[in-house]
Amino acid sequence: MTGFAIRFLACNLCISVIIVLLFAVKSLLGKRLTSRSQYRLWFPLLGLLAVPFLPLEHIRFPAFPAWFHAWKPQNASAQTPGNIPDSLLSARESTGWMNDFAISASQKAPSVLGAACSIVWICGMAFLLFSFIKSMLHLSDIRQSALPLQNAGVRSLYRHCLVEMHIRRSIPVRSTAFIKSPMISGLFFPCIYLPASLISDYDAVSMRYMLLHELSHYRQKDTLASCLMNTARIVYWFNPLVHLALREMHTDREIACDAFVLDLLCESDYESYGQTLLAFADRISRMPAPFCAGISTGMAQMKKRILHIAGYRPATLQKHLLSLLCFLLITALLCCFIPLLHIRASDDSKSRLPESGRQVSEPDLSSILDGYDAGFVLYDTKSGTWQIYNKESALTRSVPASTFKIYSALLALENGTITPEQSLLGWNGQNNVYDSWNRDQTLDSAMRNSVTWYFQTLDAQAGPSAIQQFIRDIGYGNQDAGNDAATYWMDASLKISPVEQVQMLQKLYDNAFGFQPEHIEAVKRAIRIDASRYGLLYGKTGTVAADGKNICGWFIGFVEKEDSTCFFALNIQKDSQAGGPEAVQLAGRILEYLQVWK
């Protein structure tokens, strides 16, 4: 919920921009659009306001710049030496390939901010909802006190108005002493309510105008629009631009109804209709319930309506066609904002299920992974089948930590920073956490011992812009390299899910990137761990930590056989003791259980 609140606030920045653009469009095209088209322009906005809450996660959206993914949890990464598991066959040369090291940071501040935003937002909605419930109870009292229309003259006039509006449904008309201006209420069972004071000595002309106006609300389904507008007002209570847009929409709604009525009148009756509106200007400016529509509005809105009536001319066919075209174009443009407003789309913590391969099974690995929040993925190229344990975790992105060193090496090879034949980098003499790091390193030794300074040196020579472009080109995870070339793969900027890890390994193996084949082979050689009668085992570990405790461990890789290749990724999470070494040990048991490696 806290993460949702943060992303929802970020969505409101985009919503505010959309509202400003809509006002600009209305200002430029107002005179060229019909009154009803100007009113209808607000409905796409109502649709966009609903987007953050709709289940659209299975719809593919285009990638957007990383700057939009505003609030990111500041996970940390660190690795301490662990015991070497015996579940895998002995690794080549040494066990250094299991060691990782990164930095550590706290992630508490964003969580506190998210919780505070959630509480304030919910409290604001609860307050408004309470006031709306009170209004609805008041409306219920009005309904109970209302009496069927008794005046024969008004009933006859009302039937004539139904014919004028081409409405076949018989909408009840009732009178009540508890309202001061006419209104229509009821989403499924609409009813028109007239003030009792206007019926006893009614003026037929004014009464006709009022009835036509209320029936035009019915024709436009304005009671439904009122429901949507007030729902938006509750949910977006904190956004002043949303309230401004809804107020303008309310004005445009009344102007559209006025235009509906004016189209039925002679031009000589326009002044009389305007005077009828002015007669209600000193009455209440709000409906007694929020889900009603009526003829009465505030003074500022009344001024706009009178000016509209004074200059009203029936729209020509050309104006109707132009209005329709503009409406369709503007709606299409607004639909382009859907990916930015969709909470799940703007949330980079999730990936999608693989599309390649039709067969997906869910092995029961609970006995092996008991005590961990773990996601495991295995893809067999021969059978084209996926085996996914715990889909939720398998689709959840985490910091890649040292597993990204595979692609850091590939970038350096492609940039020419190193070559397969010459990859030696000199040690700067500073003591590191592992003795094996305190010497000159080649790509093979640096990958085997997970020498962080080696890959940080490669990344520093590439630079942040080249790194960002590279991860976008290969489609790595959330494709966000942050701003720090030294820590982006371990400071929660870059994230990837187990499913995506497997997909990336397959692309690497098949060289779907279109890179130099010798560079692909150099990286594969650097991550080769062991050989057995099952084939060749390749892999890389990674560890994420917070507050000095290992909370997330990776082991990714593939088993190369004569007739197939099996790609796998395991991510484990726990409050502590969940690092790369633990992931290796558990992955060994899983691969043996699935008869992939022993």
Q: Which of 251-260, 337-346, 546-555 has the lowest mean pLDDT?
A: 337-346
CA–CA distance, 3 with 495 (Å, rounded to integer)? 16
| Residue 78 reports pLDDT greater than 70 | no
pLDDT at 104: 47
Amino acid at site 134 = K
**DSSP 8-state symbol, 83:** P
pLDDT at 5: 72
221: left (phi over 0), alpha (psi -120 to 50) or beta: left
110, 138, 172, 199, 296 from 175: Cα distances, Å: 56, 16, 10, 8, 17
CA–CA distance, 245 with 239 (Å, rounded to integer)? 10
Length of the chain: 598
pLDDT band at 276 (very low <50, low <70, confident <90, very high): confident
Residue in this structure with the two tokens 């003259």, named with its chain if needed: 153
Tokens of 426: 């000199």
- For the sheet containing 173-176, what is the strand order? 147-148, 173-176, 191-195, 183-185, 292-294
Q: What does residue 506 show for φ and ψ, rounded to 5 degrees?
A: -65, -40
Q: Quick one: which of 346, 352, 350 has its CA closest to 396?
A: 350
| Residue 172 reports pLDDT greater than 50 | yes
- The runs of H, that is alpha helices, within 383-537 are 391-394, 405-415, 443-448, 452-462, 464-474, 498-510, 517-526
What integer is the mean pLDDT of 243-249? 94
3-class SS of residue 388? strand
CA–CA distance, 530 with 32 (Å, rounded to integer)? 73
| Residue 579 reports pLDDT greater than 90 | no
**DSSP 8-state symbol, 165:** T
Name the catalytic one among 402, 408, 423, 497: 402
Work out the end-to-end distance of the chain between its first and last CA atoms, rounded to an integer number of angstroms.
43
What integer is the mean pLDDT of 554-578? 93
Q: Quick one: which of 526, 588, 583, 536 has its CA closest to 555?
A: 583
Q: What is the pTM of this model?
A: 0.59
Based on the residue annotation, tell me whether 351 is a catalytic residue of this protein: no
Which helix (H) or strand (E) covers residue 509, if one does?
A: helix 498-510
Residues whose CB falls within 8 Å of the CB of residue 533, separated by 6 or more in sequence, listed in order? none
**Alpha-carbon torsion 86, 91, 95, 99, what sign?**
negative
pLDDT band at 76 (very low <50, low <70, confident <90, very high): very low
